[in-house]
Amino acid sequence: MDGKNPHPQNEVRQPMIGETENRKTDAPHSETDSGNLSEPEFFDGIAKVVERARAHIERSVNAAMCVTYYEVGRRIVEREQSGASRAAYGRRLLDELSAYLTKRCGKGWSVANLKNARQFYQVYSPSIRQPLISESEKGQTALARFALSWTHYLILMRIRDADSRRFYEIEAASQQWTVRQLKRQIDSSLYERLALSRDKNEVMRLALEGQTMEKTCDMLKNPLVLEFLDLEQSPAYSESELESAIIANLQTFLLELGKGFLFEARQKRFTFDEKSFFVDLVFYNRLLQCYVLIDLKTGELRHQDLGQMQMYVNYFDRHVKKDFERPSVGILLCREKNDNIVELTLPRDSNIYASEYSLYLPDKALLQRKLAEWTAEFEETRGGGGRGNAATAGKEETNRPQPEERGHEHHRHHLPALQKAL
């Protein structure tokens, strides 16, 4: 085969950058066709061409910058390792290299930046088996390896735990987090909170795949961190004030909820038997294809609150959701919950969850210790020896019930002591 299409008449040509993808016909346009477009539409079309080109260039430049820093770091490390007195030699090497590169290549090659390049290589080299700049085809592979900006990687490479770092890298790329959003998610201990809301095998998936949305319990994290609301940690605010603060910061709240959430309504009203009821917040998760109802509680959770949410969920399941959609999910978001009340009030297969929220960033060190303790306990109960790693743990077999089967059990027993400590 010479690589040509054996059926050229059936070939579908991909549109080039700037070419409209929604052509109504393949016939060539006459000069009069363009006259059907208003000037704003015409201008908008050209602006989109420029914007797409700029985005493409930006991605290419970011990837090329990361590849460059990686290769610079590799050569520095290999050179330092051959030095007789590593510390002294390394310092002199960086000073001289910084001066040389600045003179020849311009600004951006300070000793601090060279140290960053060295650390970048040391952190990411275990997952990269060959030099990234050697042959042309490898160069294309290198550009695909680094999907984020150099500024993103400056933050990521300072995360010591490899599983946690890989999780944030996957999520930042797939969700297109800005640098600010990435830093916020790290500061809020997103990885640890998700890990503590799952069983051990699901934790391993976090490092391999990021946050997945396959089961309703995948959307849960304990606690939900709402530090961006700027509310004081006191009982002075009302539920309506909490709701208003969430609406005012809806974009960040959606980021905290996780993947696939779409906002539908605030104080969603429904009526039956001549009585009206209101759901505080209604969302839809497009990945799970289900409604997510959230009721806000500024005080301690009561069994009446759980019963009310069950009624909300039943109504949506019977009168709102379509046949192809999954059962609705109810979440009681509260300042304080009692796990015993939740367990005794709700059936095990219920789609109702209680989750505490926090108005300040959690203690990351405490969460990490709790996660390490829980992981160690899990390994001991299974007769395992050691933590293992993300690359192999997903292949392990276990008779332990899966989260969907166990209802609330999987995220109840890890957290009471931790939440009180926070």
Residue 125 pLDDT grade (very low, low, confident, very high; cuts 50, 70, 90): confident
Sheet-wide strand order for 290-300: 224-225, 352-358, 329-336, 290-300, 275-285, 261-272
Rounded mean pLDDT, 37-43: 78
Residue 85 pLDDT grade (very low, low, confident, very high; cuts 50, 70, 90): low
Q: Which two tokens stand for residue 44?
A: 């908008």
Structural domains in the chain? 55-145 (no CATH), 160-221+368-393+403-422 (no CATH), 224-361 (3.40.1350.10)
- pTM for this predicted structure: 0.70
Say if residue 255's pLDDT is above 80: yes
Residue among 336, 335, 334, 316 nearest 326 (CA): 316
Dump the DSSP string for 112-143: HHHHHHHHHHHHHGGG--S-SSSSHHHHHHHH
Residue 236 pLDDT grade (very low, low, confident, very high; cuts 50, 70, 90): confident
CB 275 within 8 A of CB 315: no
302 phi and psi, to 5 degrees? -115, 160
- Preceding omega of 126 cis (within 30 degrees of 0): no
- Identify the pLDDT of residue 412: 41
Rounded mean pLDDT, 59-74: 88
Mean pLDDT of the chain: 78
- Identify the pLDDT of residue 231: 86
Rounded mean pLDDT, 316-341: 91
Dump the DSSP string for 193-240: HHHTTS-HHHHHHHHHH-S--SSGGGG--SSEE-GGG---SSTTS-HH
Q: What is the pLDDT of residues 340-385, one digit of tens each?
A: 888 888 887 889 998 889 888 888 888 888 888 777 776 676 655 4
